[in-house]
Structure 1
């Protein structure tokens, strides 16, 4: 009887070890993927902001710098199932992001962008695809060779099992990546998160022609200026899923005329935008749901390995140790 029990315990132990390996190294990679058919809306808001707005004056678009504005930025992300690389159970997703920022008081559009890119469903990093493009001016799309990654690095989220290290995060204004460095652990509405910070000092991003009156040169009908951009983005990330829970963008833009240096120009944007409470609450709820499901594939394998090891050791001890002789 003792021998039979020993074999049963060893068998159960081997089964537990095998099941743990199956969950962690087969099921987890197949299930820990970003969705193909995402449909998500997030809202960021800010007040006391300086921004350049374009208003119709006598049917003529007229730029004007306004102060103490309250802005709302709405971002809608959807999945593009028509991209050739997007297949059911595949490793590539195509996401489209549409963002518009408006002045709460006047309703005037302050900024807008539209872009599409493909993502590795495991790492969340951008990959090359046919559908990738950037559009920051109505009717104009910036495309690139389908074999080149147009918007490299991370864009919408961090990878599953985010680590306490730096990552490369894409900046749409810079059109390149910048380092998002790990800045510590934090808590957002009761959810444990990692905090990452991406910073860049004043960087030239464009040259454009503007009315001289916009930069204090009233005697010049137009002036070619350089636009400089600086920004600090702070991101609070749920590490198991890599989801962005809260985001804060503190940015500044200025127009620098010839003969002047950054810091001596005309400020056309200065403000801080944050995801609002409603968006953060929704992100927290979704992250908790997803981490609960993922724990079956990350926590339980460890439990199964420990239990399996114990069962095998007990079974072997019962099998190998000599049985005590019964007193005659």
Structure 2
């Protein structure tokens, strides 16, 4: 009698070996390539809070007003590449009197920006009509696999990076993320021509100094994707007369403008969905594939070794 391998045992062994090879490919090849900043984005985030703002019609600062910051991010798919993500960002600041703004130019403050980043590292890429020129490690999002350390955050109003300190974990709408905080000391950011009387200067027209500070920045990011699920800022923008050391006019001042509950829930849902898909490709599928492959390969190998007994043909006796 002799043993031969059945077709089933060979199939099981082959499939098992294939799955054992596929498992590390999913974790080490497919998942890293899935961690790419998306380019087909169209998202709106809304911040709300109370604060003071300068009313140009009344020519005075209005205290304790409702303030709304609306930011829309649209990906430029045509200009983006496999390596670079191009996002056009519109940000407006409005008191109640300018909402809803039919035209962003009617807002208290409106800016248009064009951000170009490396899709894998989130680092700035200086090309494709980028505006403004920016540096740092994070702005609209953090890199993938956020670490528990300080990050250099780009503050566009300041025109420089701000060191964000890791401040522990925090749950937003029941979803846990990494919390980062920072403040910005009063810093001169530019000049603006205004009537001298506005800043207590004697000349008819002067180049008043623009100063900016931030009472507090708080950002909570999803660890796997780097998506920001909560953001809070405390901007203060003022004017000083040339060479002055005191604020003469408050343009904008709020200790807390933060994501609305609706925006928080939307950001958490997106983070949970994106994180789940990355976990599936990077952890769940590799572990499951490796486990199943090991079982199938072991069963197939056992059946091959055991084989099926077949009689050995008898040789006819010769006369």
TM range (shorter): 0.7 to 0.9
Q: Is the 8 Å Cα contact of residues 119 and 127 (structure 1) preserved in structure 2?
A: yes
Deviations 1:198-234 (A, max 9, x none): 32211110122222332345x5423332211111321
Q: Is the 8 Å Cα contact of residues 13 and 307 (structure 1) preserved in structure 2?
A: no
Closer, same or farther in 2 for the Cα pair 1:12/1:164, shift >3 Å? Answer: farther
**Count of aligned residue pairs for this structure pair:** 289
Deviations 1:95-150 (A, max 9, x none): 0001111111354621110011211112222212122124xxxxxxxxxxxxxxx2
What's the counterpart of residue 311 of structure 2?
Answer: none
| Cα distance in structure 1, aligned partners of 2:150 and 2:243 | 37
Q: Is the 8 Å Cα contact of residues 233 and 248 (structure 1) preserved in structure 2?
A: yes
What's the counterpart of residue 93 of structure 2?
Answer: 101
Q: Secondary structure at the match of 1:181?
A: strand
Q: Please list, as runs of the form range in 1=range in 2, the aligned pairs for 1:200-279 lying within 5 A after superposition.
A: 200-217=184-201, 220-231=203-214, 232-261=216-245, 263-271=246-254, 272-279=256-263
Q: Secondary structure at the match of 1:81?
A: coil
From 52, 55, 72, the counterpart of 1:53: 55
Q: Is the 8 Å Cα contact of residues 118 and 126 (structure 1) preserved in structure 2?
A: yes
Structure 2 runs not aligned, ≥5 long:
100-105, 304-319
From 116, 119, 122, the counterpart of 1:121: 119
- Return the offset for 1:42: 1.0
| Cα distance in structure 2, aligned partners of 1:106 and 1:78 | 23
Deviations 1:50-74 (A, max 9, x none): 112333xxxxxx7432212111111
| Cα distance in structure 2, aligned partners of 1:258 and 1:14 | 75
Q: Is the 8 Å Cα contact of residues 209 and 222 (structure 1) preserved in structure 2?
A: yes
Q: Please list, as runs of the form range in 1=range in 2, the aligned pairs for 1:138-157 lying within 5 A after superposition.
A: 150-153=133-136, 154-157=138-141
Give me the CA root mean square deviation.
Answer: 3.0
4+ residue stretches of structure 1 with deviation over 6 A? Answer: 3-13, 312-315
Closer, same or farther in 2 for the Cα pair 1:305/1:248, shift >3 Å? Answer: same
Q: Secondary structure at the match of 2:277?
A: helix
What's the counterpart of residue 31 of structure 2?
Answer: 28
| Cα distance in structure 1, aligned partners of 2:148 and 2:16 | 34
Name the larger-Rg structure.
2
Q: Please list, as runs of the form range in 1=range in 2, the aligned pairs for 1:5-24 lying within 5 A after superposition.
A: 14-24=17-27
Q: TM-score, normalised by structure 2?
A: 0.79
From 128, 131, 134, the counterpart of 1:130: 128
Deviations 1:161-185 (A, max 9, x none): 1111122221111222222221111
